[in-house]
Amino acid sequence: MDVSRLLDDLNDKQRDAVAAKPSDMLVLAGAGSGKTRVLVHRIAWLMEVERIASHSILAVTFTNKAAREMRGRIESLMQQSLHTMWIGTFHGLAHRLLRSHYDEARLPQSFQILDSDDQYRLIRRVLKSMNLDEKHYPPKQIQWFINGNKDEGLRPQHIETHNDPTQIKMREIYEVYQQTCDRAGLVDFAELLLRAHELWLNHPTLLAHYQKRFRAILVDEFQDTNNIQYAWLRLLAGGDNNMMIVGDDDQSIYGWRGANVNNIQYFLRDFPAAETIRLEQNYRSTGNILKAANAVIDHNHGRLGKELWTEGEEGEKISIYAGFNELDEARFIVSQIKRWSDYGNALSDCAILYRNNAQSRVLEEALLHQSLAYRIYGGLRFFERQEIKDALGYLRMINQPLDDAAFERVVNTPTRGIGERTLAQVREHARTIEQSLWQTALIMLADKRLSGRAATALQGFIDLILSLKQAITDLPLDQQADTVIKRSGLLAMYQAEKGEKAQSRIENLEELVSACKEFEMPDDVENMTMLDAFLAHASLEAGEAQADAHQDAVQMMTIHTAKGLEYPMVFLAGVEEGMFPSQQSHEEPGRLEEERRLCYVGMTRAMQKLYVTYAESRRVYGQDKFHTQSRFIKEMPKDCVEEVRLRTTISRPVHNRFSQQTTVETFEESGFGLGDRVMHGKFGDGTVLNCEGSGAQARIQVNFDDVGTKWLMLNYAKLSKL
């Protein structure tokens, strides 16, 4: 048996982990040290050497994208297709389990997943039905409350209210919400995990079956598991089987969403035989990037402590760029990418990472202006767009008419004369008779409880759904979608809207039909029709399989989304106080350190070149805000970074923000030259880096010896030459 290929490109420590006898194990190591690689090789080793069948292995990753990559890597190591292996996210795996055991989980066979947007709408409806004011019970807060409790494994009856009236009310809302979901066969994301956990608790024989079946459980990015996820794993790994977890406490970035980095300690407590292996060699980043990232994270306290070193070259310094506003910042980033691609490099080797999704728009605009293709991961994803959700709403109604969220979404879209009052009556009655909206509507119509016009309109909707169901039952998936989009009136509605927005909505609807056409039935599901599978895919994978995955394109995403990934060239944008670390991080204890870990994650995505950029003024909600360089930049050692100085300036005519004209005259007009030493009354001495604009708008950029780079209005700066 030639197993050397499983160990060849590993260092000694990595080999220890990969070739260990089956046992519980923790691999604790910093970014880029090969944790994910170890996990992949370990799975191959278990199959090849320990003869564990692929269907006896369960691997958990953080995103669907990571799961797909992992499966691909194991398949190429093993040179065989491994579709029977369970690899997925916690949510994906829980979903799969619940599909197979819907009965034990007390769910209807065709239960539907409620994504967070649908959940929000449902909560609003629940509040309305309870006659509660959203001002006193903000739906977002309720959503947070419900999901937070579910993440802790708490049902309403488990919640301690301490006789606090608000808590009592919140608990009641949770209860009504849950009853509504149960009635309609809806399962929100947190519920997937909670039900999967309860499945273990309530069905010991089932648990024993899976403990026996999954001989090896492997978890990547373990530092970001939450309590219910860990509880689920702990039960599953409680048999004669083994669990290997890999993680990095310095990369725990989901604390705000309930992830609990202490789970690493709990694992060591609960699995006392577990061996800990530390990896210390980094294979990803250049010396400079690694040194700077280590220096930044060193400012955090209470770390488990890890050293990372590299044999690689020092590489280029980290480039810091100060834009005078966010447009200038975006323009700079895009100009660097353009240069990179002009040299023949792939766009997909560049990633722009940012703290908040909203930052993407300006960057997108700049990329579009230069005709550079880009791909956004996360953000407003395809399956989250209004028109797509409308079309999916119809498909869901047809698939499972008890789905209240879908009913709400499409009952009067496009408008068909079903007024708010009629709907309120239906909701009210549904609550009384404890039935879904669909069933209630049928009953009310049969009982003639509705006035003539309202009854006709509602009957029209019901007939539409029934006739659509009949029309599409035997069609292929794409024709099902096409039929629904046309016959529901959605297409006509958007056609009538006109304008660019409506046009893009129509294109999106067309794209949905293409998506259905491309969709392949996953071979890892049971008890599902094609439509079932597609609807589950749309809810679970929203956007991760975005349009045209094969085109060479700049990769854009939040730092959170970039976890586990790596790119030759990385831009960290918006690294200024108030943005990153965020304003809120000063208010809650522990948040600042989590922001710093996020910065560490962002920096360590870079392999060869890292740019860190910020804007001295930024328009936030339509107002210009002024920010200084982030403390994280200041925490990087001076010898690892360099400030970018542009030789010429780029003007910004109002009508065309991203044109690349150079205005060489600006310097002359200003009376200063590049590199001139100047003095400012408040900031002291500095060096001129850049000029832009003219007349009253003229600005000058100076790198001050003490306070760093600043853009100043030339007229007010009162600079004197030294």
Ligand X SMILES: Nc1ncnc2c1ncn2[C@@H]1O[C@H](COP(=O)(O)OP(=O)(O)OP(=O)(O)O)[C@@H](O)[C@H]1O
Is 286 annotated in a binding site? The answer is no
Which residues within the stretch 559-598 sit at the binding site for Mg ion (CB under 5 A)?
A: 564
Q: Indicate if 35 belongs to the active site.
A: yes
* Closest alpha carbon to 711 in 695, 700, 721: 700
Contacting residue, 13, 18, 28, 35, with ligand X by CB under 6 A: 35
Query: CB-based contacts of 697: which residues, under 8 Å, 6+ apart?
Result: none
Q: Indicate if 440 belongs to the active site.
A: no
608 touches ligand X (CB under 6 A): no
358 CA to centre of own chain = 13
- Least separation in angstroms between residue 285's CB and ligand X is 9
- Least separation in angstroms between residue 36's CB and ligand X is 3
Task: Tell me the window of 5-13, 68-76, 554-562, 576-584 that interacts with ligand X (CB under 6 A).
Answer: 5-13
Q: Indicate if 428 belongs to the active site.
A: no
Q: Indicate if 595 belongs to the active site.
A: no
The H helix count followed by the E strand count for the chain is 28, 21
Residue 582: count other Cβ atoms within 10 Å of its Cβ.
17
Taking each helix axis as running N to C, give the angle between helix 35-48 and helix 12-19, from 0 to 180 degrees, rounded to the nearest 10. 40
Which contacts of 702-711 are long-range, i.e. CB under 8 A and separated by 24 or more positions? 702/678, 703/643, 703/645, 704/680, 707/683, 708/322, 708/628, 708/629, 709/322, 709/629, 709/643, 710/322, 710/616, 710/683, 711/322, 711/324, 711/616, 711/617
- Least separation in angstroms between residue 215's CB and ligand X is 23
Cα–Cα distance between 31 and 247 in angstroms, integer?
Answer: 9
Question: Could you say which of 13, 24, 36, 171 is catalytic?
Answer: 36
Task: Tell me the window of 32-40, 375-383, 490-498, 701-709 that interacts with ligand X (CB under 6 A).
Answer: 32-40
Which of 36/666 has CB closer to Mg ion? 36
Select the binding partner of residue 64 from Mg ion, ligand X, none (C-beta < 5 to 8 A, by kind).
Answer: none
Which residues within the stretch 278-317 sit at the binding site for ligand X (CB under 6 A)?
A: 283-284
With contacts defined by CB under 5 A, how many residues of the chain interact with Mg ion? 3
33 touches ligand X (CB under 6 A): yes
Contacting residue, 33, 36, 325, 539, with Mg ion by CB under 5 A: 36
Question: Could you say which of 35, 355, 389, 652 is catalytic?
Answer: 35
Select the binding partner of residue 37 from ligand X, Mg ion, none (C-beta < 5 to 8 A, by kind).
Answer: ligand X
**Do residues 544 and 329 lie in contact, with contact meaning Cβ atoms separated by under 8 Å?**
no
How far is CA 221 from each of CA 63, 225, 289, 564, rounded to the nearest angstrom?
Answer: 10, 8, 22, 8
Task: Tell me the window of 24-32, 439-447, 493-501, 581-589 that interacts with ligand X (CB under 6 A).
Answer: 24-32
185 touches Mg ion (CB under 5 A): no
- Least separation in angstroms between residue 248's CB and ligand X is 5
Q: Indicate if 605 belongs to the active site.
A: yes
248 touches ligand X (CB under 6 A): yes
Is 681 annotated in a binding site? The answer is no
Which of 31/457 has CB closer to Mg ion? 31
Chain position whose Cβ is nearest to ligand X:
34
- Least separation in angstroms between residue 151's CB and ligand X is 23
Which residues within the stretch 539-568 sit at the binding site for ligand X (CB under 6 A)?
A: 564, 566
Q: Are strands 684-692 and 699-704 parallel, antiparallel or unpaired?
A: antiparallel
Q: Residue 317 has what DSSP assignment?
A: P
- Least separation in angstroms between residue 250's CB and ligand X is 9
Q: Indicate if 36 belongs to the active site.
A: yes
Cα–Cα distance between 10 and 3 in angstroms, integer?
Answer: 13
Question: Could you say which of 605, 609, 631, 710 is catalytic?
Answer: 605
Which contacts of 275-278 are long-range, i.e. CB under 8 A and separated by 24 or more positions? 275/20, 275/23, 275/24, 275/25, 275/26, 276/25, 276/26, 276/27, 276/28, 277/13, 277/16, 277/17, 277/25, 277/26, 277/27, 277/28, 278/13, 278/27, 278/28, 278/29, 278/306
Contacting residue, 6, 28, 31, 540, with ligand X by CB under 6 A: 31
Instruction: List 59's β-bridge partners, or say none.
Output: 87, 218
282 touches Mg ion (CB under 5 A): no
Which contacts of 432-437 are long-range, i.e. CB under 8 A and separated by 24 or more positions? 434/179, 434/183, 435/183, 436/183, 436/184, 436/401, 436/402, 436/403, 436/404, 436/407, 437/184, 437/404, 437/407, 437/408, 437/411
Which of 70/347 has CB closer to ligand X? 70
Is 35 annotated in a binding site? The answer is yes
Which residues within the stretch 588-607 sit at the binding site for ligand X (CB under 6 A)?
A: 604
Question: Coil, strand, or helix at residue 577?
Answer: coil
With contacts defined by CB under 6 A, how many residues of the chain interact with ligand X? 19
Is 448 annotated in a binding site? The answer is no
Using CB under 5 A as the criterion, which residues of the chain lie in contact with Mg ion when the complex forms? 35-36, 564
Residues in the annotated binding site for ATP = 29-36
Residues with a known catalytic role: 35-36, 220-221, 251, 605
Using CB under 6 A as the criterion, which residues of the chain lie in contact with ligand X when the complex forms? 9-11, 14, 29, 31-37, 248, 251, 283-284, 564, 566, 604
